[in-house]
Amino acid sequence: MSGGEVAGILVAVFWAILVSFLAVALARLAQTLKATTKLVADVTEQAVPLLADASATVRSAQTQIDRVDAIASDVQEVASNASALSSTVASTFGGPLVKVAAFGYGVRRALGGRKEDVPAKAPRRTVIVGRTIPAARRKRNRRGERD
């Protein structure tokens, strides 16, 4: 065998090995593409119902938010009506009730006050060995008067 023949055989073997490696790589790439296609199909099958459920949930949440908004506006209206009613009642009955209470207090004081023939009691002082206790430290009796 001559040197040219050996070189030709080496080039042929090299090309055969190269083609084999490329064939294996292409086969694996084809398997990976098949697996990826199957995975995408499975995800699509599961994602479509999930997206439909999510859309239904969002619509339901929007309905509930609209209801809560209506309730909040009704509560605000009731609160403003209660405030207006309260101020109306206070202005209508407040002045006369204060006058009636003041009149009742004056009548009670006038009827339950001191009688003309009984003199007012002088405050008593407590003496301890020549010393007077200040009025703030004296005891009170049952009627709230100081001893």
pLDDT tens digits, one per residue of 69-83: 999 999 999 999 999
pLDDT of 2 > 80? The answer is: no
pLDDT band at residue 68 under the 50/70/90 scheme: very high
How far, in Å, CA of 137 to CA of 127, rounded?
A: 12
| pLDDT score at 21 | 95
Predicted local distance difference test score (pLDDT) of residue 88: 85
* pTM listed for this prediction: 0.39
How many angstroms separate the first and last alpha carbons of the chain?
146
Q: pLDDT per residue over 104-115, tens digit each? A: 898 888 888 655
Q: Give the model's pLDDT for residue 15.
A: 94
Q: Judge whether residue 24 has pLDDT over 90.
A: yes
Are the beta carbons of 132 and 125 closer than 8 angstroms? Answer: yes
pLDDT in tens, 103-145: 889 888 888 865 555 555 666 665 566 565 555 555 555 555 5
User: Where in the chain are the domains?
Assistant: 11-114
Mean pLDDT to the nearest integer, 1-20: 89
- The confidence score (pLDDT) of residue 130 equals 59
The predicted pLDDT at position 74 comes to: 93
